[in-house]
Amino acid sequence: MSKDNENVPLPLLTADGPSMSPGAQPFKPDQLLACDSCLRTNPPTRVNCLYCGANLPITEGIADLQKPALRPLENWEQGYNNILKRSAATGALSLGEQAIVEAADLLKLDAAALSRIISSKQALPLARSATRDEAGLIQRRLKGLGFVTEIIADVNLSTEGTGPFRVRAAEMDHTVLKVYERQAAQPVDLLWAEIVLLVAGRLTVQRIESREEKASRKENRLLDSSEFFSDETVLDFYTVSNKSFRIMAKSFNFSCLGEKKELLAEQNMSTLMLLFREKAGNATWDDSFNSIRKELELVWPSEKRAESAGWRRDRPGKITKGSVTEINNEAQFQKYSRLRHHLISRTPRTADEES
């Protein structure tokens, strides 16, 4: 090394990665983790390599030092969810303020938001991780603070290739429900006694369209912006054979209501749900999705999709660019609905759950 470089300090590996700060506290050499992929050393607080992203080995000596990354996952990625058990949520109400603050710091949540999740007394997600190891780390750290969680993979909350069956029309009597995917199709026959779960909610779509003027030496100027909002009631129901069905207010033929049919789809949807609750008397009813959406947004945010609406030359020297942003919560409702089914399909119902 040349004399010019002799006094240049080497970066220290700290909890936040390499640091040149003189006040940074380095970890001991025996605490550092070597990545099996790129062979570089990492702080013991990490679960994945700082340089290449590969999973790092977990050893007993540094298990308490590791902190989850909890990076936001892309829409196409399959993750792992730490779900606060419903029975544990009631017990968590008695946790001290310090435990909630520490758990919120671990989960990268606001303490008040975590308190709302606990107060809901529902089995709700606390964190969504990219890997099973990271989810296990979160579960262990939360257990030390008094939280009891269950890890459920996204694949267990997905219906790819299996539904839900979109119901467009139905016929019903006292014992049998016939559902149609389309008017001329063969019906699927179900017994009311087969239905074990009814989940109601609202699907919302927010669409923002804007157009900006392209400027060469200054920021683009917003010329026009429009916002559109739509929502509709949705009902999912599940059978003992794990089949799932979905009725959406705007695409369902309510002729099955007979004399009870009204002019507005939302009124008809309310009547239909009352009929389902009455005829499927053995099914668990859940309509809490609308009231807990704010808590679900913390871990399962609504999907946001942005795309260009193209360039346009309005006049010589003036070029505008359009963009469209769409936010919808269908995937969020899908996960919540499947979570409820996943939990109820293997857990005996209690009187509290049936209410």
- If phi > 0 it is left, if psi is from -120 to 50 it is alpha, else beta; for residue 148 that is beta
Based on the fold, state whether residues 143 and 282 are members of the same structural domain.
no
Query: Where do we find the tokens 């074990």?
Result: 196
pLDDT in tens, 236-260: 999 999 899 999 999 999 999 999 9
Query: Where do we find the tokens 């871990």?
Result: 299
| Domain final position from 36, 67, 98 | 67
Q: Is residue 354 part of a domain?
A: no
If one counts the domains in the chain, the total is: 3
Based on the fold, state whether residues 282 and 228 are members of the same structural domain.
yes
| Residues 107, 113, 114, 118, CA torsion sign | negative
Based on the fold, state whether residues 107 and 223 are members of the same structural domain.
no
Cα(280)–Cα(245) distance, rounded to whole angstroms?
A: 14
Based on the fold, state whether residues 232 and 339 are members of the same structural domain.
yes
pLDDT in tens, 205-221: 999 988 877 766 666 77
Q: Are 205 and 326 in contact (CB under 8 A)?
A: yes
pTM, 2 dp: 0.79
Based on the fold, state whether residues 332 and 201 are members of the same structural domain.
yes
pLDDT at 210: 82
- Residue pLDDT tens, the chain, 355 long: 444 444 434 445 555 555 544 444 567 777 788 888 898 888 877 777 888 877 777 665 565 667 788 888 888 889 999 999 876 666 666 778 899 999 999 999 999 999 999 988 889 999 999 989 889 989 999 999 999 999 999 998 876 656 689 999 999 999 999 999 876 779 999 999 999 999 999 999 999 988 877 766 666 777 778 889 999 999 999 999 989 999 999 999 999 999 999 999 999 999 999 999 999 999 999 999 999 999 999 999 999 988 887 777 766 667 777 888 999 999 999 999 999 999 998 655 443 443 3
Q: Is residue 1 part of a domain?
A: no
Q: Is residue 87 part of a domain?
A: yes
Cα(78)–Cα(215) distance, rounded to whole angstroms?
A: 40
What own/partner pairs with CB < 8 Å and gap ≥ 24 does 256-260 have? Answer: 256/169, 256/170, 256/171, 256/172
Q: Which domain, by its residues, includes 88? A: 80-157
pLDDT at 8: 39
Q: Are 233 and 289 in contact (CB under 8 A)?
A: no
Based on the fold, state whether residues 114 and 20 are members of the same structural domain.
no
Cα(147)–Cα(88) distance, rounded to whole angstroms?
A: 7
Based on the fold, state whether residues 281 and 213 are members of the same structural domain.
yes
Q: Is residue 15 part of a domain?
A: yes
* Nearest alpha-carbon partner for 172 in 25, 271, 50: 271
Based on the fold, state whether residues 175 and 141 are members of the same structural domain.
no
